Structure formats: structure tokens, C-alpha cells
Amino acid sequence: MSKIIGILGGMGPAATIDLFRKIVLNTKAETDQEHLPIFIYNNTKIPAVRESEKALNQLVISARILEKAGVDFIIMPCNTAHIWQDEIKEALTIPFYSMVDLTIETLLRDYKHKKVLLLATATTVDYGLYQKACQNTPLEIITPNAEEQKIINKTIKCVKAGKLEDNPYLKDLNRVLEKYYNESISSLIGGCTEIPLLFDYLKNDMTKIDPTLLLAKMSVKKAL
């Protein structure tokens, strides 16, 4: 019998849909009945990360709601919210799987590039979420400068508002990526869940790592 996946969503709704979609697309099923059971709690009351205490409280409440609903493990599509992954794990009696740890493990195992550009929110970058996860490994996380980070922040905000191909900052973002590619940085992490939604519109030859896709594929394996 398949295990029940719990998705702690809401930060943001489009990212939650993207994770669910990728789980469905990566499940070998020919009928509806062959797909995996999934509970999604799309808690849109989780405040912005800057309200850290309130945000953590809502995340823990959400995780416990999923646990009480009977899920076997929990995953979360928001990269930035993983700054509280330890606190969420401590609040549960079921596994919580980290997309950040999974991404670093996958990079170390499957990719030859050891310098990787991180595209993420300023909070994720400043907290050092991915940088800390790869300490004492051969992997080096490259972060954008302050002006480039402003472009990334604006790009992410527009994705949250539903702008993908028509995102007004795509041209600026592509220019940033071209600069790093010319400096021999040939891989990037979509370290904010909205960034992989733009992968089809990024015009460069960089290898693009999608933590959401990695999390979806791992969840399918864990659930079967």
C-alpha cells in the first residue's frame, strides 16, 4: 500500500501546485487509481518570513494538521521556509524531508560542476541556507552581488503575481546569468520555488537544478 504524502503549502500557492504537478508527472500511473494519495494544506495565512516567530508558528501548526490527517511524511515546496526545517522536524513524529539537503546531496552525487550559482530570495541567501548545507564538501555556492539580488527579488515577486514569459525582469535576469556563465559558472540552483517556473524562459546553456523536481521524484520513491 502506498504511503500518504503531505505537502505543506501556501508559500506560495503556485509553488505548491508546481510540486503537486511534478509528483503526478513523475508517478508511473496509467489510471487515476494508480496515482499516489496526497494531502495538501495550502495555508495562505503564513506571514512573510520577516515575521519569523509568527511564520514558524503557522508552519508548525500546518505540519501538525497534516500529521493528524494521517500522512506518512511531509515535504514543503518553499525553499526559504526551510530555515526552520529543524524546528518543524522537532514538532513532528513523522519524517520531514528537506529539499535543501536533497539538492546538495544530488549535486555532490550526480553533477561534475562544483561551483554553482544560487538564485533565491535575499532571505535564503543571507541566512546561508544552501551555503551551510554544503559546508565541508567540495561544493561552492556562488551568490549574486547586491544589485543582481535586487533583480532576482523583483523577478520572484512578479512570478508570484503570475508573470512568467511576460515577466518584465527576465531580460535583466538573463543578462546576470550570461555574466556568470562567461565566468565559467555553468550550473545554477533554482533556490526559490518560483525560479524553476522560469526555466523555460532562461536563454542560456547553464545546467539548471530544480529542487522542486528533485523533491517530487524522491517523494514518489518514498511513497511507493
Q: What would the pLDDT profile of 64-91 be if each residue is shown by its tens digit?
A: 999 999 999 999 999 999 999 999 999 9
**Do residue 112 and residue 205 come from a single domain?**
yes
Q: How far is CA 162 from CA 3, 18, 158, 198, in A?
A: 32, 13, 7, 11
Counting the structural domains of the chain, the total is: 2
Same domain for 178 and 125: yes
Task: Determine whether 78 is an active site residue.
Answer: yes
Could you tell me which of 38, 46, 45, 43 has the C-alpha nearest to residue 20? Answer: 38
- Please state, in angstroms and rounded to a whole number, the distance separating the CA atoms of residues 59 and 83: 11
Least confident of 50-54, 95-99, 141-145: 50-54
pLDDT digits (tens, 9 = 90+) for 26-49: 999 999 999 999 999 999 888 877
Q: Are strands 207-209 and 73-75 parallel, antiparallel or unpaired?
A: unpaired
- How would residue 10 be classed by pLDDT, with cut points 50, 70 and 90? confident
Asked if 192 is an active-site residue, the reply is: yes
Distance CA 159, CA 54 (A): 24
Distances (CA, A) of 6 to 27, 39, 42, 58, 85: 16, 5, 11, 16, 15
Same domain, 156 and 202: yes
Asked if 116 and 141 touch (Cβ cutoff 8 Å), the reply is yes
* 70 and 113 share one domain: no
CATH number, domain containing residue 205 = 3.40.50.1860
Do 57 and 109 belong together in one domain? no
Q: Let me know whether 104 and 45 are in one domain.
A: no
The whole-angstrom separation of Cα 195 and Cα 197 is 5
Interatomic CA distance for residues 90 and 92, integer angstroms: 6
Annotated catalytic residue, options 125, 129, 192, 220: 192
Quick one: 114 and 170 in the same domain?
A: yes
Same domain, 200 and 155: yes
pLDDT bracket for residue 50 (50, 70, 90): low
pLDDT of residue 65: 98
Amino acid identity at 220: V
Same domain as 109, residue 48: no
**Cell digits of residue 137:** 564538501
Indicate the pLDDT class of residue 115, thresholds 50, 70 and 90.
very high
Tell whether 92 and 27 lie within a shared domain: yes
Place of cell 524522491: 218
Residue 58: its H or E element: helix 52-69
CA distance 55 to 43: 11
pLDDT digits (tens, 9 = 90+) for 185-196: 999 999 998 899
CB contact at 8 A, 84 and 56: yes
pLDDT score recorded for residue 51: 61
| Nearby residues of 63 by Cβ (< 8 Å), 6 or more positions away | 6, 8, 74, 88, 91, 92, 96
Residue 204: give the domain boundaries: 100-211
Grid cell 556562488 is found at 142
Q: Which of 66, 76, 78, 122 is catalytic?
A: 78
